[in-house]
Structure 1
């Protein structure tokens, strides 16, 4: 009789742990900026977290928002190839890409180089498009700078006529995160904890949470921060957009930063194909998924560009 009681108590504890695991989900979010693009059109007119590769517009310091949609330059293709080689051993489970062609091309090259994801379907997401620069698109950056100076504002904070404010860009990112969180947690709950949580059903949930909240210094490896995390999301977007996204994650969502990280570097402009990574833990609530822990592993990493003549 005593033996049965002990067995029942043990089973109940396992069920409690399983239930807690089902309601908690950790995944990585890696941003890449698009590479550089070639100059093909001159219209009105640029993380995860990967930034895009270079375009001819980047090289000529012309603004690219949403109205200018060009392909990568030769240098941009090389940058995307380098990013793909750097990330080749990361088994991404989901890939979200801005639907502008310079971002799509960057993502295609990254996935083509990946040992696990070649041929993986990408989700083209308009919410990841670059910030709109209105009348300044296709113009030299000095044009925007002069407009900002005339308005008594910094270039980053200034919104040209017809352009998007930083708050509008942030709202797009928040909508993307909300949809992503719901999709991630729904899939996790339907598959069970063993399939995607990164933690054992017999282990202690608190250990996984502590790992997410830690500030382990990066060691410049492509898999930094991914130990024990089984679900990896790749986001390919644009420089100004990723900068706003990182600001929201750090300032609004209280994302923990690496030990010794300087805010100036965290919020610095993302280089072409610069890579940023965040580890996020979601929990289930009555109102839907909530972010229970967030850790920044690194931002704007460009180690993969060291051997290229024009890494920026």
Structure 2
């Protein structure tokens, strides 16, 4: 079980992010122009690092975010275990007052420890945790010392809890921005975070910064 460093990146912006439409694991959108620029900005800052392999979800918005690295010929694997959470009937729809109430009710249930709560026809936190644990156990067994992982907002919130061996009720402690970067270091079979949701790569010459949609 080799010690390793893992760079964990959320995908770049999509039009659905921009418009406040729920994506989830069942909507396979592409990056918009801003998302493509965010992906390039991340690459420009971190291309010098000797990543051994790139691991993404099976959804194309993660593939497109790491495309500049893949163009270099880096080995690439897709892992559906880190797909975005399934939001059921709300996927592909703009948020409404009713759906926001349902979302708040479900996430509050998770905070109270009811991990089987889910949006209508959606995935529960318990189901999310099961697949994330499969992915983390896979990471623990890998021998590479430096990996790049690209996933999704809620999935990454859950992933941070699993990496740190925390209950999922703490998921909302972890914020996420488009191309926000987390760095996790594995030592002795345990992970700790050394960077959380960093978007400094989005700073441009004019001093502006993209404001990613959650």
Q: Provide TM-score, normalisation by structure 1.
A: 0.59
Q: Deviations over 1:245-299 (max 9, x none)?
A: 112223439xxxxxxxxx99x93321000000011024xxxxxxxx2x4321111
> In the alignment, which residue of structure 1 is the partner of 2:56?
97
Question: Is 2:208 aligned against 1:311?
Answer: no
Q: Which runs of 5+ in 2 are unaligned?
A: 111-116
CA pair 110-94 structure 1, distance change in 2 beyond 3 A:
closer
Contact kept? 2:84, 2:151, Cα under 8 Å = yes
- Runs (4 or more) in structure 1 with deviation over 3 Å come to 152-158
> In the alignment, which residue of structure 2 is the partner of 1:73?
32
CA pair 159-26 structure 1, distance change in 2 beyond 3 A:
same
Q: Of 174, 177, 194, which residue of structure 2 is paired with 1:271? A: 177
Give the Cα separation in 2 of the matches to 1:146 and 1:245. 25
Say what the alpha-carbon RMSD is for the aligned residues. 2.4
Aligned pairs, number: 200
CA pair 100-155 structure 1, distance change in 2 beyond 3 A:
farther
SS at the partner of 1:252?
coil
> In the alignment, which residue of structure 2 is the partner of 1:132?
86
> In the alignment, which residue of structure 1 is the partner of 2:198?
301
Give the Cα separation in 2 of the matches to 1:129 and 1:102. 10
Q: Which runs of 5+ in 1 are unaligned?
A: 1-23, 34-51, 113-117, 185-195, 197-230, 254-262, 283-290
Question: 1:173 offset after TM fit, Å?
Answer: 1.0
Give the Cα separation in 2 of the matches to 1:129 and 1:107. 15
SS at the partner of 2:75?
coil
Give the Cα separation in 2 of the matches to 1:153 and 1:177. 25
Contact kept? 1:28, 1:279, Cα under 8 Å = yes
Give the Cα separation in 2 of the matches to 1:137 and 1:111. 29
Question: Is 2:161 aligned against 1:233?
Answer: no
Question: 1:90 offset after TM fit, Å?
Answer: 0.9
Q: Provide TM-score, normalisation by structure 2.
A: 0.84
CA pair 251-178 structure 1, distance change in 2 beyond 3 A:
closer
> In the alignment, which residue of structure 2 is the partner of 1:26?
3
The residue correspondences of 1:1-312 to structure 2 (distance < 5 A) are 25-33=2-10, 52-112=11-71, 118-142=72-96, 143-148=98-103, 152-154=105-107, 157=110, 159-184=118-143, 231-252=145-166, 267-282=173-188, 291=189, 293-307=190-204, 309-312=209-212
Contact kept? 2:62, 2:151, Cα under 8 Å = yes
Question: 1:79 offset after TM fit, Å?
Answer: 0.5
Question: 1:75 offset after TM fit, Å?
Answer: 0.3
SS at the partner of 1:135?
helix
Q: Deviations over 1:67-103 (max 9, x none)?
A: 2111100000000001111211111112111110111
Higher radius of gyration, 1 or 2: 1
